Amino acid sequence: MKIKSSQLAIGLVCILLGFVITMQIKSVSFNTNRETAIKSGNTRLEEASSLKAENEELKKKIIMLEEEIDFYNQNLGATGDGRVMLEQIKRAETLAGLTSLTGEGVVVTMNDSKAKGADGVSSENYLIHDDDVRKVVNELFAAGAEAISINGERMIVTSAIRCVGPVIVINNNRYSPPYVISAIGDRKTLSAALNQRDGVVDTLRNLWKIEIDIVEKEKVVIPRYTGTTTFKYAKKTAE
């Protein structure tokens, strides 16, 4: 069948038309999708930053209110009954981690291993994970530590140490290495507990070459807990 030049021209024109129409439809839908995605991303960012600002304001308010409470507490402590209540409050605050404390203890600094990995072993093993930090904290508490903080975050009864990708989240704040763990207690006991054979430091340092540095100190300062402290579910049991 002989193809007339006019037929060819029509064919080419149709190919061009089909191509351009489909391309246009694809592009328009792609562009509108991208726009809505970007817009929703932006609203999320705005929401997040306004919430952060609100958070900062509220934290300042908390500090002001706490100062007021302290002032009233002082007045309370003047009378006999009041003094007993004040002692109870102070004791509870100390145990709850709401006051900063100082005393002798140790400062443990942990950093990712700088060693080259052995063949076939995943390089993840040479990084510090949340459970490595937890082991050190656990060992310190077991050895009698009375207060522990990690990178300035005070460990309280509900503190959690979690891995999120390459960083660790402590008390809902993110931290990356190096991790500085301060503990108050008998400094010889604390460092001996960590340095036991087959203990935490032995495994981490000798097996995976994670850098751990333990320094005994006469005076360690551990800051107070600065997060939220309301309980939504737990209620006092009837005694």
How many Å apart are CA 128 and CA 208, to the nearest integer?
10
CB atoms within 10 A of CB 180: 16
Residue 135 C-beta: closest distance to another protein, Å? 49
* Footprint of another protein on 31-60 (CB under 8 A): 31
How many Å apart are CA 64 and CA 58, to the nearest integer?
10
- Binding segment toward another protein, per CB under 8 A, in 10-18, 95-103, 200-208, 214-222: 10-18
Q: Which lies closer to another protein via its Cβ, residue 10 or residue 215?
A: 10
Query: From the list 2, 5, 122, 235, which residue makes contact with another protein (rule: CB under 8 A)?
Result: 5
Q: Which lies closer to another protein via its Cβ, residue 17 or residue 192?
A: 17
Residue 24 C-beta: closest distance to another protein, Å? 5
Query: From the list 20, 45, 69, 160, which residue makes contact with another protein (rule: CB under 8 A)?
Result: 20
Choose among 186, 208, 209, 91: nearest CA to 140.
186
Structure tokens at 75: 């007045």
Query: From the list 21, 38, 45, 160, which residue makes contact with another protein (rule: CB under 8 A)?
Result: 21
Structure tokens at 115: 């060693």
Choose among 189, 100, 177, 102: nearest CA to 140.
189
- Binding segment toward another protein, per CB under 8 A, in 6-14, 121-129, 153-161, 184-192: 6-14
Q: What pairs with residue 214 in β-bridges?
A: 108
Would you say the C-alpha torsion 113, 115, 116, 122 has a positive or negative sign?
negative
Q: What pairs with residue 111 in β-bridges?
A: 211
Under the binding rule (CB under 8 A), the answer on residue 19 touching another protein is: yes
Query: From the list 23, 38, 65, 84, which residue makes contact with another protein (rule: CB under 8 A)?
Result: 23
* Footprint on this chain of another protein (rule: CB under 8 A): 5-7, 9-24, 26-28, 30-31
